[in-house]
Structure 1
Amino acid sequence: MDISALTDEQQLALQQYTSVTDQGLEAAVPLLQKCQWNAQIAITRFFDGDADTVDPEAEAARAPPPQPSRRTETLLDSIPARSARGGRRSRLEPAPRVVPTPENQMVQSLPFPFSIILLPFNITYAIVQRLLGAVGYLFPFLPRLLSRFYSGRASQPSRDTGRRQLNPRDTAARFIRDFEEEYGVTHGTLPFHEGGYAEAYDIAKQDLKYLLVVLLSPEHDDTAPFVRETLLSGEFQTWVKDPSNNIILWAGTVQDVEAYQMASAFNVSRFPYSTLIVHTPSVSSTAMSKFASTSGPVAAQDWIVKLRTAVQTHNAELDRIRRQRQEQLATRNLRQEQESAYERSLAQDREKARKRKEEAAAQEKAEREERERAERKADQARKLAQWRSWRAHTISSEPDADVKDAVRMSIRMPNGERVIRKFAAGAELEELYAFVECHHLLQNNEAMSEKEPIRPADYEHRYKFQLVSPMPREAYDLETGGKISQRVGRSGNLIVEKVIDDDDDDDDEDDEDYSI
């Protein structure tokens, strides 16, 4: 098909139709010819699916010709045209993220001396303003008549400086309440976002939704008809409430600071104003751009067609981004799960290694303690044997029979053997204990034949028995001390009893091979 044979208007209509519908030229050109090359009617018939049942040519013939009036001025942004050089990307206008400036930063109070000087002028201005307000209340036609002579009033946003400034959420709640009271609708008729513009902007950017911004000005005569005929129309309510469209509706009046600053940032020339904002990754990964902006009154059907066309144009790109985000989220979740599993496995390995290390350390400690205990035991046994040998050589010999003051003791050993021995009258009680301790060495002549051994150093011997007289029972302990003759008497019958202490090792009894 030779497209060059078409006129410029027909080529523009063909570009608009194909950019929205993505239909081939073989099917697009016949439908546009039937619709008298009216792209809007052709797009409507294509999406409604009744191009074959309804005669587009008759509908195009019945459609009124374009009027160079207020209706044509409302559609500022035409349908984006697709070109080989990427003209669609160049037509996108960035949507700024407007955060309301605090009132104390917008209006700075004058110093006190200047306020005193300007006080008469302020009082005069307040009186004149009250008088003019009373005149306007009595004669309502005067403000409208005067507004016709003031051309700049219709093109510049205005703000009521006497209106109390609130935070963005409270400002949105006040606007919704005033809107419902002004137009007599119930709460929820329109799903206004109950928050600030910046909050709605961030939600639309994060969740990949469309942000529809509507700015109203009560001072303009076109505001009330636009709200009643377009904004509150049943078709628009159905469309904006449809969850599949992903629409966030935010509206405000320029009497508030936030909407006033937005009107200045968007360069609004006429009210009411609306624009559709959506994330455009074709510009940048974080860009938010304006689509389908309107200024001034607009019919509900034309407005909805324009909004629906813009949404359908950008849905494919948003779906692609959503899929990418889902894939990225799934990949990130999978990576986090893998990292968590790896960390758990690593923690289990560290715990096993720690337990093995603790068990090895405990085993090594037990072996070391056992080795030290064995060494201590061997050393104690060696020192005990050396001490017994030394003490056996140092025990005084038994007195002769002609010694009259000798002490005679009868000692019964634990094995039942009875030993009778004489001690010198001045012998200490420890001498008697040493005799019992070394009795088995004293009986061994070979051990006593050796030369006198050396007393072991760093050793303090502790007797593990005590001598007791049976009748009456009395224990003769070494802590009290004294001589044998003083403690026991010139003669006595003694019994050797073992003393078991908690501090004694059980294995020490194996080395006590003496007769007790």
Structure 2
Amino acid sequence: MSDLDIGQLSDSERSALETYTTLTGHEPAEAIPLLRRSQWNVQIAVSKFFDGEGPDPVEEARSAMNDPPPPPRPARRTQNLMSDDLTATLSSPVTRSADLAPRVDTQPEDQPVYRPPFILALLFTPFSLVYRLLASSFRLFGTLFPFLPRLFTVTVNPALQGARRNTTGRRALGPKDTAARFIREFEEDYGSHAIPFLENGYNMALEKAQRDLKFLLVILMSPEHDDTTGWVRDTLLAPEVAEFINDPQNNLLVWGGNVRDSEAYQVSNSLRCTKFPFAAVIVHTPNVSSTAMSVIGRIAGTTSPSEMVTRLRTSIASNQEPLERIRSTRAEQQASRSLREEQDSAYERSLAIDRERARQRREAEATRQREEQEAADRQAAEEKRQRDLAQWKAWRTQSLQPEPGADVKDAVRISVRLPSGERIMRKFAPDADIEELYAVVECYEVLQDEARPTDVSHPEGFEHQYSFRLVSPMPRAVFAVDDGGTVRDKIGRGGNLLVEPIVDEEDEDEKEEADAETETA
């Protein structure tokens, strides 16, 4: 075809030609006649290229009509960032024939199913039977002439496109339960298989494919279609198709639906399905928008296993590069995030170690200061006790009874041996209390000082306790001061006594520990 012929084409025809040659690789000289026979409809021309050119009066009649408006958006919810102008999506070579895959409005999981009262249901039973009969007839008519439902979908009031009454007698379920019912019915009809259908709604499948950067294979079936059973057994469940779908390198997710269910019916309208069985490949197209999911391939009608694998492989290969770039970017971001998390974790661990060390230092410093304070308090208390004890000794010395003279015949003569080895030889009056003897022993050093004070008062708040006891060695007898009594009654006319220090159990334990540490060192 000469340049003059191409220059005579309109803008829309040149755009269709460029899209067709990009997808098929045909030369313009071969592509222009086929596009003219297809009324410049790229979809029909591509189908003829893959399926073989044959008479298709339905599609050609539709194409001969004035170009119908694009499918209206769902009334309540559409995919955000979706381009309104389909020609804008043809600017990229990869997505020139890709249509955006919108979400569908489905029944919420927690929405209760309305059931009319029994009496009303009984009254309206004849009308319901007539309505179901007419609906079944219309579905049969639509199966024989598949372009009519599509034509009705395009020309009907857009406000009615989002809703479809359940006229099949199937119970309306939530998306997840509907998918589980489809999988169960599929296994009941065709037995065990290797097709990993997703047990989620269509919208969840789209989100999973976008999140995981995988291709979503949507399979729509109509049990009323004669070719469905043969296509499933001979093509979909063929070993080479199942092997291709389950190959991890192909990154394929599979979602299936029965068009008798509301969700699958809406999906078929959104994907512009005109012939069953139907399969479509959907993938995230980042060159359209950051959230766009586009239909990159359609397989309508019966196909052989090899042809289906070829089409799937072609669709995946032509859209693999953008996904690989996103995967690489995500991997770099994840590696950077992991490195940052490891650095933050190491910093937190180091910070925790520093905090623990600082806490231990603070505790050790507090313990040291507390021990020093306690030692200072003990020393101060001990110094005060020694001062009070010295004052008490001086005070008690003033009140000691003088030693009896030679004229006292009943005087008791006592010899007391001190721990230092010195001996105290003293006489006591027979009626002297045993405490008098203890006081003499306690105040012995003060008694030796001739310059001792004589006007000492009792120390305020001091309660004196003797830190020794007097014992008789042979036979051993203890003369406790707390027992009271006179010297004559306790000791008799005379005796030799020993001073035995009283050691507390705590002091004894501390002494044993100190001795043990000394031996260990």
Match of 2:321 among 307, 316, 321: 316
Greater mean alpha carbon deviation, residues 270-279 or residues 324-333: 270-279
1:297 to 294, 301, 307: 301
Q: Please state how far the C-alpha of 1:146 moved relative to its aligned partner.
A: 11
Paired residues for 1:101-250 under 5 Å:
101=108, 105=112, 108-110=114-116, 112=117, 115-116=118-119, 119-122=122-125, 161-164=168-171, 171-172=178-179, 174-176=181-183, 178-179=185-186, 182=189, 187-188=193-194, 190-221=195-226, 223=228, 227=232, 231=236, 239-250=244-255
* Distance of aligned partners of 1:335 and 1:364 in 2 relative to their CA distance in 1, 3 Å threshold: same
- 1:413 to 1:308, Cα distance in 2 relative to 1, 3 A: closer
1:69 equivalent in structure 2: 57
What is the total number of aligned residue pairs between the two structures?
462
Q: Which amino acid aligns with 1:109?
A: R
Residues 200 and 250 in structure 1, CA contact (< 8 A), matched pair in contact too: yes
1 or 2 for the larger relative contact order (CA 8 Å, sep ≥6)?
A: 1
Deviation, 1:297, is: 2.9
Task: Give the letter for the 2:182 counterpart.
Answer: F
**C-alpha contact (below 8 Å) 1:32/1:39 kept by paired residues:** no
Shift of 1:361: 1.9
Q: Does structure 1 retain, via aligned residues, the 8 Å contact 2:179–2:200?
A: yes
Q: Contact conserved, 2:277 with 2:302, CA < 8 A, in 1? A: no
Displacement of 1:206 in angstroms is 1.5
Task: Please name the residue that 1:513 is paired with.
Answer: none
Structure 1 residues 305-314 or 79-88, which shifts more?
Answer: 79-88
Instruction: Map Cα deviations across residues 253-276 of structure 1 (whole Å, 9 max, x no partner).
Output: 122343234345556565444332
Q: How big is the shift at 1:17?
A: 6.1
SS at match of 1:391: helix
Aligned to 1:32: 27
Code of the residue aligned with 1:334 in structure 2: it is L
Name 2:377's counterpart in structure 1.
372
Match of 1:441 among 441, 446, 459: 446
User: 2 CA distance for matches of 1:233 and 1:261?
Assistant: 28
Alpha-carbon contact 1:220-1:271 (below 8 Å) kept: yes
Q: Does 1:348 align with 2:343?
A: no
Q: 8 Å contact 1:16–1:80 — kept in the other structure? A: no
2:481 is paired with a residue of what secondary structure? Answer: coil
Q: Report the CA distance between 1:434 and its aligned residue.
A: 0.5
Contact 1:215 1:253 in 2 (8 A): yes
Give, in whole Å, the separation in 1 of the partners of 2:91 and 2:177: 47
Instruction: Please give the alpha-carbon distance, in whole angstroms, between the structure 1 residues aligned to 2:94 and 2:397.
Output: 120
Question: Which among 446, 468, 472 is matched to residue 471 of structure 2?
Answer: 468
User: Structure 2 vs 1, CA of residues 243 and 4 (structure 1 numbering), >3 Å: closer, same or farther?
Assistant: farther
Deviations 1:65-85 (A, max 9, x none): 5644357699999x9897669
**Partners of 2:297 and 2:315 within 8 A in 1:** yes
Judged with a 3 Å threshold, the aligned counterparts in structure 2 of structure 1 residues 362 and 374 are, in CA distance, closer, same or farther, namely: same
Q: Which runs of 5+ in 1 are unaligned?
A: 22-27, 41-59, 509-516
Shift of the 208–73 alpha-carbon distance from structure 1 to 2, 3 Å rule, reads: farther
| Counterpart amino acid of residue 187 in structure 1 | H
The runs of 5 or more residues in structure 2 that have no matched partner are: 36-47, 64-69, 72-85, 154-163, 512-521
Query: Where does residue 459 of structure 1 map in the other structure?
Result: 462
Which residue does the alignment assign to 1:359? 364
Which of the numbers 263, 286, 291 marks the counterpart of 1:286?
291
Name 2:415's counterpart in structure 1. 410
Q: 1:245 to 1:18 in 2, by over 3 A?
A: farther
CA–CA separation in structure 2 for the residues paired with 1:186 and 1:440: 111
> Aligned-pair distance for 1:345?
0.8
Q: Which residue is equivalent to 1:258?
A: 263
Alpha carbons 1:467, 1:477 under 8 Å: kept: yes
The aligned counterpart of 1:493 is 496
Q: Secondary structure at the match of 1:377?
A: helix
1:16-45 deviations in Å (ceiling 9; x for gaps): 367459xxxxxx8xx7268566899xxxxx
The corresponding residue for 1:337 is 342
2:94·2:318 contact (CA, 8 Å) conserved in 1?
A: no
TM-score, normalised via structure 1 length: 0.72
Residue type matched to 1:6 in 2?
I
Partner AA of 2:301 in structure 1: P
Any residues of structure 2 matched to 1:40-51 within 5 Å, and which? Answer: none
Q: What's the C-alpha RMSD, in Å, of the aligned pairs?
A: 4.8
Secondary structure of residue in 1 paired with 2:459 = coil
SS at structure 1 position matched to 2:220? strand
Between the aligned partners of 1:246 and 1:387, the Cα distance in structure 2 is 100
Supply the distance in 2 between the matched residues of 1:3 and 1:81 (Cα, whole angstroms).
25
